[in-house]
Amino acid sequence: MIILTIDTDWAPQHATAHVLEKVQALGLKSTVFFSEPSPVPPWPQLEVGAHPDLSRRYVFQDPGGPLSMATMEHDAGVLAAEGEILAQFKKAIPTAEAVRTHRFYWHSDLARVMAKNGFLHDSSMILPYQPGLKGFRTGRLLRWPVWASDHLHLTRRFPLDQLEMPYLNEPGLKIFCFHVTYLYLNARSLDDFNMIRARLGSGQESPEPRPGPGIWTLFELLANKIAKTSTGWWLRDIPEEMILQNLKRPKN
């Protein structure tokens, strides 16, 4: 089962709009995680999600040496700050049930904080190119591991004009994580991405999409593969059989 997801990250608004229009034209279900807690463009095939950067939240630092961050006071501050950020996203995007933290940030109490703020699905982990992946429950939260990302695809130097990835056609959940910047640029290498990041950081206009096979080519190939058998999947409608079930202990 292949699922297409997109993180908007820090991409300019015009680049985000351009990419989402192209994705919408494909007519497949997709999940977009928005990095800004602001209204998002609705269309029938879109599942919206939150993409907060929880690693940058301000937390009161209590003094007391190298173990000060392990105090209950600090932990309470972390959870309160993260809860406030998630609440802001939920208020701005009330239909969002899915969340993916920036850089796959995670800790053991985060599932409870997410569920408390109305999120039901999380995709804040990556288990690249593993066969037979399934989701699993953590408290009230369903967690869905990412199978591949555009950045990792370029790092591994897999082809961009054909679908050659290990275990792609084997059973299991295959959630792809794409980024607006890579898709907009049709990035062909990590050098392309580093170039656009440097230009945007200096206030320059973003460059034109790269010609030839690139990350957008890969996205279209996956979309075409999905379209042969379905209209795509959202995280919220992944079937029950793709969730790991706890094994019952054998009776003595």
Q: Containing H/E element for 226? A: helix 215-227
CATH number of 2-242: 3.20.20.370
Which residues pair with residue 32 across a beta bridge?
6, 48
Q: Containing H/E element for 191? A: helix 190-201
| Cα 10 from Cα 33, distance rounded (Å) | 12
| Cα 121 from Cα 212, distance rounded (Å) | 36
Chain length of the chain: 252
Asked if residues 232 and 30 have their Cβ atoms less than 8 Å apart, the reply is yes
Global confidence as pTM: 0.89
| Cα 238 from Cα 83, distance rounded (Å) | 26
| Cα 51 from Cα 35, distance rounded (Å) | 5
The label of the residue with tokens 């709009």 reads 17
What's the pLDDT at 133? 96
What's the pLDDT at 186? 94
Please report, for residues 25, 165, 246, the alpha-carbon distance to residue 211 in angstroms, rounded to integers and kept in the order given: 20, 23, 48
What's the pLDDT at 56? 74
Per-residue pLDDT 10s for the chain (252 aa) are 999 999 998 788 888 889 999 999 999 999 999 998 766 777 889 999 999 999 876 555 555 555 555 555 667 888 999 999 999 999 999 999 999 999 999 998 999 999 999 999 999 999 999 999 999 999 999 999 999 999 999 999 999 999 999 999 999 999 999 999 999 999 999 888 777 666 655 566 667 778 899 999 999 999 999 999 999 999 999 999 999 987 666 676
What's the pLDDT at 193? 74
What's the pLDDT at 114? 97
| Cα 72 from Cα 3, distance rounded (Å) | 39
| Cα 135 from Cα 127, distance rounded (Å) | 11
Contacts of 81 (CB under 8 A, 6+ apart): 57, 58, 59
Domain map (residue ranges) of the chain: 2-242
